[in-house]
Amino acid sequence: MSANEDTPPPTEKPDDDGSGATGGKEEDKQEDESDLNFLQRLLAQLKPPTASEGVEKEKPEQLLEEVTFEGVANYIKKGKCKNIIVMTGAGISTAAGIPDFRSPGTGLYDNLQKYDLPHPQAVFEINFFQSMVLFNQQSNPEPFFMLAKELYPGSFKPTISHYFIKLLSDKELLLRNYTQNIDTLERVAGIPQEKLVEAHGSFHTAHCLDCVKEYSHEWVRDEVFADKIPTCPDCKGVVKPDIVFFGESLPPVFHRCVPQDMPKCDLLIVMGTSLVVQPFCSLVDRVPATTPRLLINKEKCGNQPDFFSLLMGGPASGFQFDSDDNYRDVMWQGTTDDGCVALAELLGWKDELLNYVKAEHKRIDEANAEAKKPSAPEKKGGDKEVGNSSNEGSEAEKQNKEASNL
């Protein structure tokens, strides 16, 4: 299992070679040598494994015919994987017009100046949102709900990347989609709920922070759009969408699915995430050692050596794109929509994917136009209602069109 299986444990001394060396000096010498060996072995374990030692001997079986994008496509095409796990981040939603709002400098935070936040991320910190009786701190959920109004799901259309994952699901190749996104575009794209792990929660449901009563996202949205802080009619507690704030633990479904799914994964596709948020980013190391891993992202990432793993003499963790020993990690650099179209093309699914995107976007636009009609009785709730800004819609369309013109 570990890279140092062939190295005796550090405490083991060399066997008596039967040379009859029994003199005190000889013994001292042997003692010194074993101490030296011990130190050498220890140092060897502390050193990162290199191409010429350790890891190479234990290189797991290479499942890809070639460690390239084409190699991954052929692997899928030849039916060698049936349990694909797709991990996604903000990058798959940017083409829909959703800003990466967790990062300062997106413009969204400028609107929050008046709230005098200690720092921009405070808006997503549970201690800031929720009153802390212990510290006699005032709760301040207002900035979050102001930001939520601008980000509210229902304003955006899923991207090509979302529909590519839906296609994997339709073709019964998708084991699970782990997403860090809270925009619910996976649900809008029709990825079945049982195939979805929203690792950072979502706006889909909400709970009263005091009495834990559940509220629908429609109810919360109506409150937010009426510029009210959603407040539990029963107990007057603040009702918070079930998105994971900084300082909160990940939803139970994440902890339930990870140990079941990861050992079964026969292809890992990571898209649109810079893999910096734990524990999400460590999942790439939870799949079997033979499992090919494809990263579709604007920047190369996830190849940081895990210091702890190196210290323990274990194999290097994270992606190994540039390693001489790389036998399974493939990087496709660019937007996730472009990457999905490129992969779909190699798989012979390109037309199917783009026609599907076109039909779904048309359906969504029509539903929105219907909802916006003055004669419409009232705004309909539900996941399928999207696009309350024609400007955002056309921008997303433009980008999706650009992607399809590859």
Which spans of this chain sit near Zn ion (rule: CB under 5 A)? 208, 210-211, 213, 232, 234-235, 237
In the complex with Zn ion, which residue's Cβ is closer, 139 or 404? 139
Residue 141 CA to residue 379 CA, distance in Å, equals 25
Q: Which residues are annotated as a binding site?
A: 90-94, 100-102, 180-183, 208, 211, 232, 235, 273-274, 297-299
Cβ at position 141, least distance to Zn ion in Å: 14
300 with 335: CB under 8 angstroms? no
Those residues whose C-beta lies under 8 Å from the C-beta of residue 284, and which sit 6 or more positions away, are 87, 268, 270, 275, 293, 302, 318, 319
User: DSSP code of 91?
Assistant: G
Q: 């510029």: which residue's tokens?
A: 227
In the complex with Zn ion, which residue's Cβ is closer, 73 or 224? 224
In the complex with Zn ion, which residue's Cβ is closer, 231 or 274? 231
239 with 232: CB under 8 angstroms? yes
Residue 233 CA to residue 236 CA, distance in Å, equals 6
Cβ at position 139, least distance to Zn ion in Å: 14
In the complex with Zn ion, which residue's Cβ is closer, 237 or 334? 237
Q: Which residues are annotated as a binding site for Zn(2+)?
A: 208, 211, 232, 235
Q: 């992969």: which residue's tokens?
A: 343
In 234-389, DSSP assigns E strands to: 239-243, 267-271, 293-297, 329-333
- In 53-88, which positions are buried (b, 16+ CB within 10 angstroms) versus exposed (e)? ebbeebeeeebbeebebebbbbbbeeeebebbbbbb
Cβ at position 129, least distance to Zn ion in Å: 15
Residue 219 CA to residue 227 CA, distance in Å, equals 13
219 with 207: CB under 8 angstroms? no
Residue 245 CA to residue 144 CA, distance in Å, equals 11
Catalytic residues: 200
Residue 16 CA to residue 369 CA, distance in Å, equals 86
In the complex with Zn ion, which residue's Cβ is closer, 240 or 361? 240
In the complex with Zn ion, which residue's Cβ is closer, 129 or 332? 129
Q: Which residues are annotated as a binding site for NAD(+)?
A: 90-94, 100-102, 180-183, 273-274, 297-299
86 with 269: CB under 8 angstroms? yes
Cβ at position 232, least distance to Zn ion in Å: 3
In the complex with Zn ion, which residue's Cβ is closer, 150 or 214? 214
Cβ at position 240, least distance to Zn ion in Å: 11
Residue 72 CA to residue 298 CA, distance in Å, equals 19
Please give the structure tokens belonging to residue 382: 């539900």
* Angle at alpha carbon of residue 185, lines to 165 and 233, rounded to 5°: 145
User: DSSP code of 74?
Assistant: H
Cβ at position 150, least distance to Zn ion in Å: 26
Q: Give 205's strand partners.
A: 216
Residue 104 DSSP SS3 = coil
Please give the structure tokens belonging to residue 181: 């996104």
Cβ at position 239, least distance to Zn ion in Å: 7
